[in-house]
Chain A
Amino acid sequence: MSNESEPVIRVEGLSAGYGEEVILDDISFDVYPGEVFVIAGGSGCGKTTLLKNMIGLLEPDAGCVLIDGDDIVAASGRSRHRILRKIGVMFQTGALFGSMTLLENVRLELDEFTDLPRDAANLIASMKLDLVGLGGYGDYMPAELSGGMQKRAAIARAMVLDPQILFLDEPSAGLDPVTSAGLDGLIRRLAKSLKITFVIVTHELASIYAVADRVIMLEKEARKIVAAGPPEQLRDSTDNAWVRRFFHRQAE
């Protein structure tokens, strides 16, 4: 978290919503290279909306998202393709292609964007599967795997072209604590060894403590970032009542 270096993601004045309903109002923050950055908040506060705006799936009402200096909102065609090559995304459900095997899922981007020979693509894809602990599962169909394995495979698919940034949408949703902890360990390992920047959307306290270098908290009523900093700092010294309740698991 060398804050002196240039941010790899810069979100500036982002406002977003659906129709007339405003979900996020004038949000700005920076993500620095190599850090595990967590977007946290309660249900319905716009975490996933923010993520979808950051990866170009939704167009914000105002503001911009700079990925490595390029605005993903304004980009189209080739420049957009160039930006998207720098990121990988794991969706909440994994979103593996159901009609393809795991290996084919992971290999897809290699097939589409490189001219690697078939056996090379297969080997590289298998290595990515091995990195997430699914070494021997290349020939399985996604439906034959458990939820945790599907998510790990989705991470392998997201990082097959070695993106600088990985976006994970609720990696621990629907997983038991043990599997979830395993996934957290994987994230830390990848961040440390491969120097990948992670942007993670979650509301799991345990995961936040386990992986996060820095957290921003969104709140539904405020539609803004109500707190930002390392998780321990947010837990121990916050003046925002909602953040305090979140970190101490108290009901309203």
Chain B
Amino acid sequence: MTAKSKSRSSARLRSESDGYGTMTLGYAGRLDSVNVGSLWRQTSDILKHARPARVIVLGEEIDYCDGSGVGLLFSLRLKGVKQGFAVEFKGLRPELAEMLDRFDADRFAEYGKEKRHIHPAEEIGHFTWQLFLDLREQFAFIGELHVAAVRCLVRRGQLRWKEVFITAERAGANAVGIVSLIGFLFGLIMAFSFAMPMRQFGVDIYVADLVAMGLVRVLGPFITAIILAGRSGSAYAAELGTMKINDEIDALTTMSLNPVRFLVVPKVLATIFVTPLLTVVANVFGLIGCGVVMLSLGFPLVTYTSHVESAIDAGDVALGLFKALVFGGLVAGVGCLRGLQTETGPSAVGISTTRAVVSGIVLVVLAEGVFAVLFHYMDI
């Protein structure tokens, strides 16, 4: 059986089988990175169908051979080890033969074996275990944070007030613009989307009650927390993550300064302090947004404000602000934790910030759910 294949390029492969298990492969021309691709596929095809006991490689006609070409020739030797056929090179130039002998086919054959196929069940188990470990770490962190925070508040000189104020400015004062804008738009959109269907039943004045109630009790704190998770939770994670990568956290530890007290407590306290304030801003602008819709629907301002007043009382506001307090703590705490968990490498900080935002939002939604059930049974 004789097969002759000619590629478009200036490299050729001629293969010949003697019918008794010996296959001769003759390479010719330029074995460079441009041509090797097609030769490689041809070689694989030939060997797949032939299953020889012995392969003789003829190299007299090779004009040029670069790293890719050596790779091709070496792959034959590797295949020989794996599939159990003998490979013999004939007519290779001495420098090429020397290059080829530099690599040990037995050792290369071992390389692939170490990679083990992971069973899906094992992967699920591993994932669950990681989840459990992360949960344990979160609980430990909550404990550590509380101890450090209480210690800071009880003992003088332990809390870094400067850091608290800087964080309060960054997370709080600088966020007033975005919180008021989102609050305003949220009130506007909610009022508008409720007003249309409710108008059909002639009860569109109750949009005011609905929006006021929803905003102050639930959505005000909620959207504030989401904005905070995106703005500040991620920033804390990035800041602490970069410090971790630069060994600054280790430096603090060796100075006998607790990173949680030194870095985390000021951030968490500042965030807990500013979240209710931001929630007030969100509430006020949300109500203004709602008011704009109500006015445009033709209701006088007095009617709107009296409806708002009758719909919510101080208790509702306080409840919303209490939630905001908790959300602020959650978002800041988990942001800092993700930062401290940062591993090494250039993508680590990015992963940490992503995890900070995702965990922050998930925790806020979970807490919101817990509060809803709790307040329902407590009848507030």
Contacts and interface: CB of A to CB of B under 8 A. Distances in A.
A95 B256 contact: no
B254 A93 contact: no
B247 A56 contact: no
B257 A112 contact: yes
Given A95-B247, A97-B248, A98-B248, A56 B255 contact: no
B257 A87 contact: no
A108 B163 CA distance: 14
A95 B253 CA distance: 12
A109 interface: yes
B255 A57 contact: no
A221 B344 CA distance: 25
Contacts of B242: 98
Contacts of A96: 248
Contacts of A81: 256
A153 interface: no
Contact of A57 (B246, B248, B250): B250
A243 B255 CA distance: 35
B254 A89 contact: yes
A97 B246 CA distance: 9
B247 A92 contact: yes
Interface residue tally of chain A, by bracket? 20 to 34
Nearest to B163: A99
A91 interface: yes
Contact of A93 (B247, B253, B256): B247
B370 interface: no
Interface in B191-227: none
B181 interface: no
Interface string A127-145: 0000000000000000000
Given A92-B247, A95-B248, A57 B254 contact: yes
Main secondary structure of the interface of B (DSSP, over half): helix
Contacts of B243: 97-98
Contacts of B374: none
B251 interface: yes
A91 B251 contact: yes
Contacts of A113: 256
A109 B256 CA distance: 9
Contact of A109 (B248, B253, B255): B255
A89 B257 contact: no
Nearest to B263: A97
Given A95-B246, A98-B246, A89 B256 contact: no
Contacts of B257: 108-109, 112
B295 to A, nearest CB: 47
Contact of A80 (B250, B251, B255, B256): B256
A48 to B, nearest CB: 11
A224 B1 CA distance: 61
Contacts of A80: 256
B250 A84 contact: no
A91 B243 CA distance: 13
A217 to B, nearest CB: 25
A108 B256 CA distance: 12
B247 A108 contact: no
A162 B115 CA distance: 51
Contact of B256 (A52, A85, A91, A97): A85
A191 B255 CA distance: 21
Contacts of A124: none
Contact of A84 (B246, B247, B248, B255): B255
B251 A95 contact: yes
B255 A91 contact: no
Contacts of B250: 52, 57, 89, 91, 95
A85 B256 CA distance: 7
A27 interface: no
The 4 closest A-B pairs by CB, nearest first: A95-B247, A84-B256, A91-B247, A95-B251
Interface of B: 242-243, 246-248, 250-251, 253-257
8 contacts: A81-B256, A84-B255, A87-B254, A91-B250, A108-B255, A108-B257, A109-B257, A113-B256
Interface of A: 52, 55-57, 80-81, 84-85, 87-89, 91-93, 95-98, 108-109, 112-113
Given A93-B246, A109-B255, 20 more contacts: A52-B250, A80-B256, A81-B256, A84-B254, A84-B256, A85-B256, A88-B254, A89-B250, A89-B251, A91-B251, A92-B247, A95-B247, A95-B248, A97-B251, A98-B243, A98-B246, A98-B248, A108-B257, A109-B257, A112-B255
